[in-house]
Structure 1
């Protein structure tokens, strides 16, 4: 079922209402979690995702569908990330990283180290570049969708992503990671 049909099903009373919302959450939560983790860090991502879907649940009845549901959802997610970042402005970056559960201890250690380096590097980017790059690389959105979500011109979005990639490449190379 497409998102638009699920939104319509949610707006109707009855047993399908919460089922439609559950499908929307199941479909979009992984991408929203990846976006949140890149913006606020893995330790705060779950809280942000919860805030996002609480807001979505409360706002679906008034969603005007002037944009795609995923565009609206990502805008809510970015706003929630910005609120979370403002709430913890004085938290040092070292407390943000959270190790993954190990499957293969050696490989897990390498992946955790790489994730931590990438998270630190992402957090050094200006917020507009970090936002655009996260929407592109972690949420898989195309440039036009990112422009709609951020309110920036298409050329500006492309420029932000290009600058963010170059900055990440330089930062990671300095720390011994070959991009």
Structure 2
């Protein structure tokens, strides 16, 4: 027996509307349907599976508790992209801070520092370090470019979907992405 196909976007939107109205069965079904999508988004930022799963759990909790902040306009999946992306970036920041704190507190001659704890530092050694660091820098210096740039270049959302999600005009979104790319490009390592 083949696995059931994932719900269509219209079905997900319907589930989300019903869940917002207080139907707990619809919320359970929505979360079950969204989990693979959320995990995929988190894996795009956090290549180490346990890290991505932590971020996925954080995103699922946010979807469950903050579904009311989705205004019901546009696709729920566009809103979920942003929630998942924020959860993955938050998990990355938390792990980075834990790694820095544990390194600063320990004895520099300690052999334990030669082998980082994979529960806290796996993402630091991940393949996406240059992108995550560039996004951190961009967020500090030009925060208006971060969300549109990540939604377009990392997650491949259409410009119109990004404009709808961010509430910005389409031309503004395109300009933010263009300027964000110009600022980030010099921060990225050359691929070998």
Same structural fold, with TM-score higher than 0.5 when normalized by the shorter chain: yes
Task: Give the aligned partner of residue 98 of structure 1.
Answer: 124
Task: Give the aligned partner of residue 122 of structure 1.
Answer: 135
Give deviations 1:124-177, integer Å, cap 9, x for gaps. 2122222211100121111111112222221221111111212222233xx6x2
**Kept after mapping to 1: 8 A contact 2:151/2:162:** yes
**Kept after mapping to 2: 8 A contact 1:93/1:120:** no
Q: Distance in 2 between matches of 1:5 and 1:67?
A: 13
Change (3 A) 1:6 1:137: same
Shift of 1:61: 7.9
Query: Secondary structure of the residue that 1:67 maps to in structure 2?
Result: coil
Task: Give the aligned partner of residue 164 of structure 2.
Answer: 148
Q: Distance in 2 between matches of 1:127 and 1:44?
A: 24
Tell whether 2:176 aligns with 1:160.
Answer: yes
Q: Distance in 1 between matches of 2:168 and 2:99?
A: 28
Match of 1:68 among 72, 75, 78: 75
Tell whether 2:41 aligns with 1:31.
Answer: yes
Q: Distance in 1 between matches of 2:129 and 2:69?
A: 39
Q: Distance in 2 between matches of 1:141 and 1:163?
A: 17
Q: Distance in 2 between matches of 1:156 and 1:92?
A: 36
**Kept after mapping to 2: 8 A contact 1:147/1:154:** yes
**Kept after mapping to 1: 8 A contact 2:163/2:173:** yes
Structure 2 unmatched ranges of 5 or more:
1-6, 101-120
Structure 1 unmatched ranges of 5 or more:
101-111
Shift of 1:9: 5.1
Shift of 1:69: 1.0
Task: Give the aligned partner of residue 8 of structure 2.
Answer: 2
Match of 2:187 among 150, 171, 179: 171
What is the TM-score with the length of structure 1 in the denominator? 0.62
Change (3 A) 1:142 1:32: farther
Aligned alpha-carbon RMSD (Å): 4.0
